[in-house]
Amino acid sequence: RRGMPSRGAPRIAVIYVSGIINSGDSGFDPLNGDVAGSARLVKAIRSARADEGVRAIVVRIDSPGGSSIASDVIWRELNITKNEKPSRPLVASMSDLAASGGYYVAMAAPHIVAQPATLTGSIGIYGGKFITGGTFDKFGANIEAVIVGRNAGLESPDRPFTDSERQKLREQIRSFYDGFVGKVAASRKMPVERVEQLAQGRVWTGAQAQQNGLVDALGGLDRAIALAKERAGISPETNVEVVTYPERKSLAELLIEQLSGS
């Protein structure tokens, strides 16, 4: 909650996208830190969308990216939310990081706010795999697979890519990259050729991103909430209730998840 909102005060939903973006539930990974799970975030976005008292939605992003599929799922759900009720503004607020999949999610919002030093952009994608077959050999383990189809073993960690699989991976990466660039062009109302100059995996500060048209304004979460209020027709003097999504898990819930392996 922000300030001392009166009973029935307008609500602003703040949806946090924090950590590596992945499919499934949110949580904590000992190696990568916070995980922003697409399944949990979709549920949170739908909850905010269903709340008739929510006058505006702010997506608070602090993420280096992650799964391209999970990022696209979150982006799609935010787009549905934006288009379902155009009078309810959607604003993206970038924290320390909004790179790759983090920026992919942000571009669902017509209005993007970044800190001057936010690492943003990194419009690109990479792919590959770790080959672990030799490690299993050292332990005396043997991996055998039954494969139907020329590229069915593309993701097998037992061996390197064949020429056909490598070409297929290149095609997949190029297809997603072109889609990423096209979405940025549509969102930021820029020619594809201009976006291509800013893309190619390049990373910008928030100030540079504003100069290049990738973000609209500079500031923190307060600036984004103020912009959301303005776009929603709420006067600056009006106190609002800030509701955060997803709901924070208790320490006991986090411990149970770790112990149960979920």
Greater pLDDT, 179 or 5: 179
21-60: pLDDT as tens digits: 999 887 766 656 688 999 999 999 999 999 999 999 999 9
Instruction: For 60-75, write each residue's pLDDT tens digit.
Output: 999 999 999 999 999 9
Query: Distance (Å, rounded) from C-alpha 244 to C-alpha 141?
Result: 48
**pLDDT class for 156, splitting at 50, 70, 90?**
confident
Alpha helices in the chain (DSSP H): 38-50, 68-84, 101-106, 133-138, 163-188, 192-198, 206-211, 221-232, 251-260
CA separation, residue 113 to residues 84, 163, 185, 199, 219 (Å): 22, 44, 18, 19, 6
Helices 68-84 & 38-50, crossing angle to 10 degrees?
10
List pLDDT tens digits, range 194-205.
Answer: 999 999 999 999
d(CA 87, CA 143): 56
Sign of CA pseudo-dihedral 48, 49, 53, 58: positive
Check if 100 is active-site. Answer: yes
CB-based contacts of 240, cutoff 8 Å, min separation 6: 2, 3, 5, 9, 10, 11, 12, 55, 225, 229, 234
Cβ-contact 44, 15 below 8 angstroms: yes
What's the pLDDT at 228?
A: 97
Tell me what pLDDT residue 250 has. 55
Of 128, 125, 117, 82, whose CA–CA distance to 101 is shortest? 125
Contact in structure between 246 and 42 (CB atoms under 8 Å): no
Which residue is associated with the tokens 């000992």? 30
Catalytic pick among 18, 63, 71, 100? 100
Share of residues in the chain with pLDDT > 70 (%): 89
Six token digits for residue 261 = 């392996």
Cα separation, 40 vs 26, in Å, equals 6
- Residue 185 has what pLDDT? 97
**In this structure, are residues 83 and 49 in contact, taking their beta carbons and an 8 Å threshold?**
no
CB-based contacts of 217, cutoff 8 Å, min separation 6: 111, 112, 113, 114, 210, 223, 227
How far apart are alpha carbons 34 and 38 in whole angstroms? 13
Amino acid at 47: S
